Amino acid sequence: MLDDRLYMRDSSYDARWSGTLILVVSNTVVFAIQLIADLTKIPFDRYLALSPSDLSHGWIWQLLTFQFLHGGPLHLILNCAMLWIFGRPLEEVLGRSSFLKLYFISGSAGGLVQVACGWLFTSHFGLGPVLGASAGVFGLIAAFAALNWNQRITTLVAFIIPV
């Protein structure tokens, strides 16, 4: 009788850490390493942030590594919050493997678009390095919206304004 209610059903999650939690923890750990590297003057970001010039020299690992770097605490907090809000339900529907593929492919594609815009429209985008999980998070939000197209979603912009 109670099995017809979603909150009474068994969750499809197992006891392992979810992919969402792994990404949030990874982003936080890498940000802590970034802070330590900045204090010790180690050029950590130089090799991991997505740079158009480095990408043209074959540094393709930056298409993944830039997604773990962040420009400041607020950047990290907002990305991790959106990753948590949209990632958990999406991971339950897609499964861990497909969820992580979607996240990293979205992030890499967003990075490539940013680099291409930097090359084509230098005066508007610049040729500086790109960092952050925003492209991957927006890919998750788009997938969440596509899967839940008929559901009302209310979110808080800057945790203040309901939209």
For residue 149, the model assigns a pLDDT of 83
Q: What pLDDT is stored for residue 122 in this prediction?
A: 79
pLDDT at res. 153: 67
Q: Which residues of the chain fall short of a pLDDT of 50? A: none
* Cβ proximity of 94 and 57 under 8 Å: no
Contact (Cβ atoms closer than 8 angstroms) between residue 54 and residue 115: no
pLDDT, position 158: 62
> 157 pairs with which residues across the strands?
161
Q: What is the pLDDT of residue 1?
A: 52
pLDDT score of 121: 84
Torsion angle of the four alpha carbons 149, 160, 7, 81, in this order, in degrees rounded to the nearest 10: 80
Q: What does the pLDDT read at residue 27?
A: 96
**What is the distance between the alpha carbons of residues 85 and 101, in angstroms, rounded to a whole number?**
18
What stretches of the chain adopt beta strand conformation (E)? 156-157, 161-162
Give the separation between CA 146 and CA 163, rounded to whole angstroms: 18
Cα separation of 61 and 48, whole Å? 8
Q: Please tell me the predicted confidence (pLDDT) of residue 157.
A: 65
- String of b and e for 94-103 (b: at least 16 CB within 10 Å)? bebeebbebb
pLDDT at 123: 80
